[in-house]
Chains A and B, each alone.
Chain A
């Protein structure tokens, strides 16, 4: 028998901290949810680990990996709880992070506002020194000036400094000189160099990303130190790993240098788990669909790969309006977030239209049926009225659902103003929320050249399994998979992530102006950097790496992230044309191709956990209840049963419950439970 080897995945979310304990020797999986402790998130984390250690005595000695995702970075930015931070920049450019791109994110909104920069103008200081766009030095920095400025900042209580020089993507020398001076003159200042955080062209994106990095760096540093201390004091000698927004895991040491890469670490878990589950089920193309209390998220996996973007933004003034936030241009999972969740509020707008979300009743006051003072109708209220939710399923979590309150709320706010019966109003709420999720997913999929009709949907989160079939039908998706433990699916995904790190450098040049040797030189350098980081996280593990290039036709502004086989110009050009054709349906043979950014992604090859069924329930608990059927336009009987009790193929209409989620299998759909745990639903004829 192999010795016990535990791995823990831990996702600290807004309300709950989710744990997955995986025993690599047996494949057994245990889940745990504890309340998040927002003021000191390490407390919730250690409480959970203590709880697991009480159940598994061998844990302190047998824990090999702890992988951890956190909302700490995002929260520090949103709540403006970062360090006292200053910005050092090329004289004449201190307003770059304030004047932004100048465009308004909503053409007809003339009163719109933008996020306040995390570094106020009086702490943005211009100094001498200039690099040209081709990287040549025009004017060196003045060490005396820099020394004076840094000392003054340190004296004023500044803790962290972002160093952002114009054109530093082409030549990082000046920024490095500043760092060297700082080490002497103000050793306690924490520095973030734009040429290290994001060595890419476009000053607004690079400066703002670096400013955010500097802003959160100390907080992350202290937090990670706290977690490491807590683990050490409990006798764990396990290294701590962090999930990055782009999908790979890194050591705490690496994470401390580039904390902005942790911003979206939570959602990545669900996407990675989707990727692996879909692959296992035989579907390389999948749509992860995660619907929670306030938002829904969707992410498209093509050919077994998680999409990564560098157009991510945080701190939006309007959460769901693109452009209303601040760019955080590091590799980030490319998903969409939609203001549609169980708590989304339905209302009739000024123009007489039924709207659902993005406002949410959240947990407080919650949906009207929670009886905590909420009087506005939500998606959950509609689901309850339509019979999709069973009040009995909520008893365990201490919530008594009140259908009368839901009825009154829908009647007053929706049915009466529209002049329609309450049940139809509830059905309309579900129709609108499903429509808005599917529309957002459709546009997002078009942007990413996805073919939804050939993809499988993997639905998780509290609301995903309930809405999945309707949304999949709207998207013409033939199949839906609902995993076991849909509620803690994201934490499971952490265990599936391998140590991975991406390095990049902007190298704006036409392909015909460089040689293969120049390309190889840069790629080698990037590869060595990336491999060193991964080796830190997985000493001795075999590694693989991918070369990537952001390419476009000369004169274009949007670049494609193209995976390339070899650092040869001809091969690069072919790969670009092939991908371009794939996405846009044509390509230009007579226009030169140019490089924007070169990237290398190194990855350690470590096996992740296999899927196994959690447990089998022998409890038949099969029954029947009335629930709404769209095609009939009426309440009709639905079979009800436990997820774990499904043995035989199941025909809709049926409602399947698991802990924290209900799977709705509409009429015309058929569901099969796979022997490794998940439920696979196939659509037949769409709604009439």
Chain B
């Protein structure tokens, strides 16, 4: 066709968006067939497609940034263990090694090689076209339950190095048995692994269809073009930033064994269409499960740039190269084996905070106050019900987002990760607990010209005769989310069991029948001097109960609290 040269960008665009829609199809299938609440309701998963070399082509629209940023290294590692010539139709590869994948054992990656022509005549045939890969957070991968105090990775569950879970269509029963013997609620976990595999039927069919429709012999050229165009787009977006250098330091309330607060130190240089992030000076890795592997750090370094400059950027390998990282080996953001990392999101979301701070200094309009939404709050409950059956349930509810220069922060929302909250009614069906209340927390949003989002209060009552093991994951107990430009910090987080002293850090405890626990997620920081907040906004916040009368007068300087 004579017009092929000029129409090419359109053709590329069509193929490209078709590939993204294949990734979305895989995601939908996974979500609908998954067993674990954390995949199906909290949507803690990612799906992606690759060419035969392992270059990422597309990722699903619904995914968590941390997992999605990790999938490229997984396929590379898989190809390293199993080069193209030892892969056959019907193979299923699995891996949950934190250093290859997404930093903790529950994130299990499963990939299948996709062949263009199935061997129809018995001859081993077909050319490797690429891979479809999913990462899903499994309900359990063994290890100590909710090892909030793990000192090494061995306490955090079974690690499966790159392996074949199916060989040419046959299940690798040894590996299945090994898993079944090592994880809690293995029926659910293996069911989810099967759901991941089933989702590939859709994915493999979709990839082949795209290749047929557009008469593609390989995906390699397409991958190169997609990668190059994405990189170009990202670099031109980065060119909108003023060139320059800035430094940021974020202290975390967790302390290393010497009693020093964990520190993320960042030196950022904005160059010509690229950004260098140097984390030299960041705390060394710690014997606590908060170390974030390089894949996770990279994901959350890219996130703020995409989110503030080009949220429509398609995510693939081309989005990685313009952000150049220097993260010291052996630090909390690039830990070495066998550092524990089960609760890396207690720390990793603060990478976004560090980058946003550095960004704010050179492009103040992009700035926002710190959020009460990090760390992520997830509470795990496990035990034996009074009828003898086992349960393992999660409850998650999040704090408030920091305010922007021109807008209030959103209350009770997940950020920068992206998983959904637990329904109280579903939770009460799953766990022997009653939720006594769950409401927005008055005055928890940091005051400011624009107010931080509110955190929440949840109170729940234990109804199990046998004690329940609880792993409490939360934070900002001592370091609330700070405001900007005169905005005040949000309220700190509180976890209080019975009438005991509030926790000072995430940890484990037993709850008895009749015990009450209160979770108070932190609020986001405010932006700007609260006394400059529009009086109508203060009056509305007061009428709706987001702020108290005391705060309206004392913090916002309202003349009176009479409302009409």
Contact status B198-A586, CB under 8 Å: yes
A107 engages B418 (CB within 8 Å): yes
**A108: contacting residue among B194, B306, B423, B425, CB under 8 A:** B306
Interface assignment of A553: CB less than 8 Å from any CB of chain B: yes
Q: Which residues of A contact B (CB under 8 A)?
A: 91-96, 98-104, 106-114, 120-122, 130, 132-133, 138, 166-167, 169, 201-204, 349-354, 418-421, 424, 428, 431-432, 435-436, 439, 442-443, 446-447, 508, 553, 555-558, 584-586, 588, 590-591, 633, 688
CB-CB contacts of B473-493 with A at 8 A, as 1s and 0s? 000000000000000000000
**How far in angstroms is the closest Cβ of chain B from A445?**
10
Give the chain B neighbours of A431 by CB distance below 8 A. 10, 14
Partner of B414, one of A103, A138, A556: A103
Bound-state Cα–Cα, A93 to B416, Å? 26
Interface residues of B (CB under 8 A from A): 1-3, 6-7, 9-10, 13-14, 17-18, 21, 24-25, 28-29, 31-37, 40-43, 61-65, 187-188, 191, 194, 198, 201-202, 229, 233, 237, 303, 306-308, 310-313, 368, 397-398, 401, 404, 407, 410-416, 418-421, 423-426, 428-429, 434-440, 456, 459, 543-546
Which of B17, B187, B543, B546 contacts A439 (CB under 8 A)? B17
From A204, which residue of chain B is reached at the shortest CB distance?
Answer: B423
Hey, which chain B residues are within 8 Å of A553, CB to CB? Answer: 35, 191
- Bound together, the chains give a CA A588 to CA B190 distance in angstroms of 11
Of chain A, the residue at the smallest CB distance from B28 is: A447
Chain A residues closer than 8 Å to B413, beta-carbon distance: 102, 104
- Given that A424-B6, A435-B14 are contacting pairs, would A556 and B33 also be in contact in the complex, using a CB cutoff of 8 Å? yes
Q: Which 4 A-B pairs have the closest CB atoms?
A: A92-B437, A557-B40, A103-B420, A102-B421
Q: Name the residue of chain A whose CB is nearest to the CB of B412.
A: A99
* Complex CA distance for A95 and B413, rounded to whole angstroms: 13
Residues of A with C-beta under 8 A to B423: 201-204
7 A-B residue pairings within 8 Å (CB atoms): A102-B420, A354-B9, A443-B21, A447-B32, A557-B41, A558-B31, A588-B191
Q: Which of B7, B32, B308, B398 makes the CB contact (< 8 A) with A110? A: B308
Q: Which residues of A contact B421 (CB under 8 A)?
A: 99-103
Which of chain B's residues has its CB closest to A436's CB?
Answer: B17
Q: Do A93 and B440 touch across chains, with their CB atoms under 8 A apart?
A: no
Q: How far, in whole Å, are A447 and B206 apart by their CA atoms in the complex? A: 13
The answer on a CB contact under 8 Å between A443 and B28 is yes
What residues on A are CB-neighbors of B63 within 8 Å? 107
A127–B10 alpha-carbon span in the complex (Å): 59
Complex: chain A residue closest to B14, CB-CB: A435
CA gap between A350 and B306 in the complex, in Å: 13
- A138–B436 Cα distance when bound, in Å, is 11
A133 x B428 contact (CB < 8 A)? yes
Distance in angstroms between the alpha carbons of A350 and B238 in the assembled complex: 12
Across-interface contacts of B1 in A (CB, < 8 A)? 633, 688
B202 contacts A92, CB within 8 Å?
no
Query: Which B residue's beta carbon lies closest to that of A323?
Result: B62
Contact flag A94-B439 (CB < 8 Å), given A103-B420, A446-B29, A633-B2: yes
Docked Cα-Cα span, A243 to B10, in Å, equals 42
Least distance between B235 CB and chain A CB atoms (Å): 11
Bound Cα distance from A667 to B25, whole angstroms: 32
The reply to whether B425 and A349 contact each other, CB–CB distance below 8 Å, is no
Which of B17, B198, B418 has a CB less than 8 Å from the CB of A103? B418
Instruction: Report A-chain residues with C-beta under 8 Å of the C-beta of B306.
Output: 108
Contact (Cβ within 8 A) B35 A121: no
Contact yes or no, A107 B233, CB < 8 A: no
Chain B: which residue is nearest A474 at the CB level? Answer: B213
Contacts of B37 in A (CB 8 A): 557
Task: Among B9, B33, B188, B426, point to the contact of A201 (Cβ < 8 A).
Answer: B426
Cβ-defined contact, A113 with B6, below 8 A:
no
What's the Cα separation between A130 and B459 when bound, in Å?
14
- Give chain B residues whose Cβ lies under 8 Å from the Cβ of A590: 187
Q: How far is the CA of A157 from the CA of B529 in the complex (A)?
A: 37
Verify B434–A558 contact, CB threshold 8 A.
no
Contacts of B311 in A (CB 8 A): 106, 108-110
Q: Which chain B residues border A432 with CB–CB below 8 Å?
A: 10, 13-14
- The reply to whether B13 and A353 form a contact with Cβ atoms under 8 Å apart is yes
User: Residues of A contacting B438 with CB < 8 Å?
Assistant: 92-93, 95-96, 99
The answer for the CA separation of A99 and B404 in the assembled complex, in Å, is 19
| A557 lies within 8 A of B34 (CB) | yes
What residues of B have a CB within 8 angstroms of the CB of A633 in the complex? Answer: 1-3
**Which A residue's beta carbon lies closest to that of B303?**
A108
Is A350 in contact with B312, judged by CB distance below 8 angstroms?
yes
> Could you say which residues of chain B place their CB within 8 Å of the CB of A107?
61-65, 418
A contact residues around B13 at 8 Å (CB): 353-354, 432
Residue pair B233, A132 in contact (C-beta under 8 Å):
no
**B residues near A133, Cβ cutoff 8 Å:** 425, 428-429
Q: Which residues of A have CB within 8 Å of B65?
A: 107-108
Whether the Cβ atoms of A166 and B303 lie closer than 8 Å is: no
Query: What's the Cα separation between A352 and B436 when bound, in Å?
Result: 52
- Asked if residues B440 and A99 are in contact (CB atoms below 8 Å), the reply is yes
Known: A133-B425, A354-B10, A556-B34. A102 touches B412 (CB 8 A): yes
Q: What's the nearest-Cβ distance from chain B to residue A279, in Å?
A: 28
**Cα separation A114 to B415 with both chains bound (whole Å):** 14
Of the candidates A104, A420, A421, A585, which one forms a contact with B418 in the assembled complex, judged by CB atoms under 8 Å apart? A104
| CA gap between A591 and B195 in the complex, in Å | 13
- Report the separation of the CA atoms of residues A96 and B14 in the bound assembly, to the nearest whole angstrom: 41
Nearest CB of chain B from residue A285's CB, rounded to whole Å: 19
The distance in angstroms between the C-alpha atoms of A206 and B308, with both chains bound, is 35
Residues on A with C-beta less than 8 A from B418 are 103-104, 107
Residue ID in chain A nearest B205 by CB atoms: A446
Smallest beta-carbon distance B307→chain A, Å: 5
Identity of the chain A residue whose Cβ is nearest the Cβ of B402 in the assembled complex: A110
Closest Cβ–Cβ distance, residue A687 to chain B (whole Å) = 10
CB contacts (< 8 Å) of A96 on chain B: these are 424, 438
Contacts of A95 in B (CB 8 A): 412, 438-440, 456
Considering the chains assembled together, what is the distance between the CA atoms of A418 and B13 in angstroms?
13
Contact call B426/A202, Cβ cutoff below 8 A: yes
B545 adjacent to A121 (CB under 8 Å): yes
Name the B residues within 8 Å of A94 (CB-CB).
439
Partner of A555, one of B35, B201, B415: B35
Distance to closest chain A CB from B192 (angstroms)? 9
- List of B residues within 8 angstroms of A103 by Cβ: 42-43, 414, 418-421
Are B439 and A104 touching (Cβ within 8 A)?
Answer: no
Whether A110 pairs with B310 at a CB distance below 8 angstroms is no
User: Which residues of A are found within 8 Å of B404, using beta-carbon distances?
Assistant: 111
Are the C-beta atoms of B32 and A558 separated by less than 8 Å? yes
Q: Are B3 and A439 in contact, CB atoms less than 8 angstroms apart?
A: no
Among A122, A436, A558, point to the contact of B40 (Cβ < 8 A): A558
Please tell me if the beta carbons of A98 and B411 are within 8 angstroms of each other in the complex.
yes
Within the assembled complex, what's the spacing in Å between the Cα atoms of A508 and B310?
A: 44
Write out the residue numbers on chain A whose beta carbons fall within 8 Å of the beta carbon of B303. 108
Having A95-B412, A108-B312, A436-B17, one finds 7 other A-B pairs with CB under 8 Å, namely A104-B418, A110-B307, A112-B410, A130-B434, A351-B310, A446-B25, A558-B31
Assess whether A108 is in contact with B34, with CB atoms less than 8 Å apart. Answer: no
**A584 engages B29 (CB within 8 Å):** yes
What residue in chain B is nearest A350 (Cβ atoms)? Answer: B310
What residue in chain B is nearest A442 (Cβ atoms)? B21
Given contacts A95-B439, A95-B440, A204-B423, contact A556 B237 (CB under 8 A): no
Q: Are A122 and B544 in contact (CB under 8 A)?
A: yes
Is the beta-carbon distance between B415 and A556 smaller than 8 angstroms? no
Set of chain A residues within 8 Å of B191, measured between Cβ atoms: 553, 555, 588, 591
Q: Do B437 and A99 have beta carbons less than 8 Å apart?
A: no
In angstroms, Cα B13 to Cα A555, docked, is 40
Say which residue of A100, A102, A418 sits within 8 Å of B9 (CB atoms).
A418
CA distance A442 to B62 in the complex (A): 17
